[in-house]
Structures are given as C-alpha cells and as structure tokens.
Amino acid sequence: MRALVTGATGLVGSHVCERLLADGWTVRALVREPARAARLAAAGVALARGDTTDDEAFARAAAGCDVVFHAAAAITPRGGWEAFRVPNVQGTAAAVAAARAAGARLLHVSSVAVYGGRARYESAGPVGEELAAAPLADEEHYARSKRESEALVLDAHRRGVAWATAIRPCVVYGRRDRQFVPRLARLLRFGVAPLVGG
C-alpha cells in the first residue's frame, strides 16, 4: 500500500508516518520545507515538496497513492479568519481533488471543534457523531475552518467524488507536540497545575 501524508512534520502526521512504515506501507509526505523533514526522510519517507494549497503539487504528490492521510492544519496562526481558511479549507479542497485524481481514499483529520466550544462539554453523555453542531461565534476561526473543511470531505464522499471520511480527535499531545504541552508548561511556570479527570 502507498500513502501520502500531509502534516507529516507535525504531531499527528509524524506518528501516522511511523505507523504506516512499521506496517509495511510505502510512505510519501507533502512538505513545505524538506530540511524540517530530515528525520522522516531518514526513516524511509519519500519527500514531495509542496504546500497543501498548491493544487498541482498536491496532485503530483498523491499520484500513485492508495490513501491520502490529510493531517495538515493551521491550529493557532495569527491573522484572523483568512489565516485559518486558506490552509484548512482551501488545503482540504486540494486534498479532495488530489485524492480524486489519484483514485485514492482520503482520511481527513478534523477535530471535535466542529461541535462548537460549548456543545462538546455540555453534552449529557459521551459526544458522538450524532451530536448536533452548535452555532459558532465569528471569532471561532479554527472551529469554523475545521467544520467547513470536514463538510467538503463528507460532501465529496456523498457525491461519489472520492471515498473520503473524517475523524474528530480531541486534544492530541505527546512526543513532538508543539501545541498543547507548551501551553501546559506555561501554566506550570505560574504554579497552576490542571488536574485532568479530577
């Protein structure tokens, strides 16, 4: 099996690459800066230079692949709505087009943010796919961009454009995390330690 992974230098994408390699897949990563992906190349990942918003580069990288794992996303950029929309929504549209052109399946890494900030925490029980998405405030740029990008993926599947699905992880942290753990570390410097689960 041959896979293309976006976001391969990030937390989720790097672990997807490792797992695919361990399972015997041939793995290619779409990367903006090959120098930042030296660890991936050393592990056996083929690097395709490009950006997720470059339709042609994305299509070239996906050519010959069986599955596209789309884990690239802007999580905390500065610059307002456009800073989220371009990489997340436009990048996902390019992922759909690239998967379609390659005849590949598409797995899009979405987020529980699509439910809305309060809905996922105020649910009476476990949050599942059946939970209705709450209205989003204008300033909830990340949530809006993930909701719109996920809608593109699911609509493409419904219309038969490509076999596509989305997963909705919650906070992801661990080795190579550049988002959650640094925030937690800043809190600890102030003597505050959140207790997860009590």
Query: β-strand 67-70 against 46-49: which pairing, if any?
Result: unpaired
Distance CA 54, CA 181 (A): 31
Give the distance from CA 9 to its chain's centroid: 12
Tokens describing residue 68: 């596209």
Rounded to 5°, the CA angle 156-128-8 comes to 55
Handedness of CA 127, 128, 133, 139 (dihedral sign): positive
**Three-state SS string across 165-184, please?**
EEECCCCCCCCCCCCHHHHH
133: left (phi over 0), alpha (psi -120 to 50) or beta: beta
Alpha-carbon gap, residue 80 to 87, rounded angstroms = 12
Q: Which of 115, 121, 142, 173 is an active site residue?
A: 142
Using CA atoms, how far apart are residues 87 and 155, in angstroms rounded to an integer?
19
The yes-or-no answer on residue 142 being catalytic is yes
Give me the active site residues, please. Answer: 142
